[in-house]
Amino acid sequence: MNWQIWLYGLLSAVLSAAGGAIAIVIVEPNTFNLDKGLLPLLKVMAVFGILAFGNYIKTTPPPKPPGTLALPPTK
């Protein structure tokens, strides 16, 4: 796996978190709407983005730089 594919996957994970935050506007329109400002919605988007980032890092670790040696598996 190269860095370009990995970064594309990371970007898609974080953008999908934005979709989850938009769904909150539908579920709880009294608290999260554009009339009250964008700050509450941006906070939720940040939390979802951090969770998506962490999950992506856990499931797909970054590729090793070229020329590095792999460590032997631990028992």
Give the pLDDT of residue 14: 80
Q: Is residue 28 part of a domain?
A: yes
Give the pLDDT of residue 10: 84
DSSP tag of 32: S
Q: Is the pLDDT of residue 75 over 80?
A: no
Q: Is residue 67 part of a domain?
A: no
What is the tally of structural domains in the chain?
Answer: 1
Domain that includes residue 36, residue range: 3-59
For residues 37-64, average pLDDT: 84
Q: Is residue 73 part of a domain?
A: no
The confidence band for 68, taking pLDDT boundaries of 50, 70 and 90, is low
Q: Is residue 48 part of a domain?
A: yes
Give the Cα separation of 75 and 69 in Å (integer).
18
Q: Is residue 31 part of a domain?
A: yes
- The pLDDT tens digits of the residues spanning 35-49 come to 877 888 888 888 888
Please, are residues 63 and 4 in contact by the beta-carbon 8 Å criterion?
A: no
Q: Is residue 8 part of a domain?
A: yes
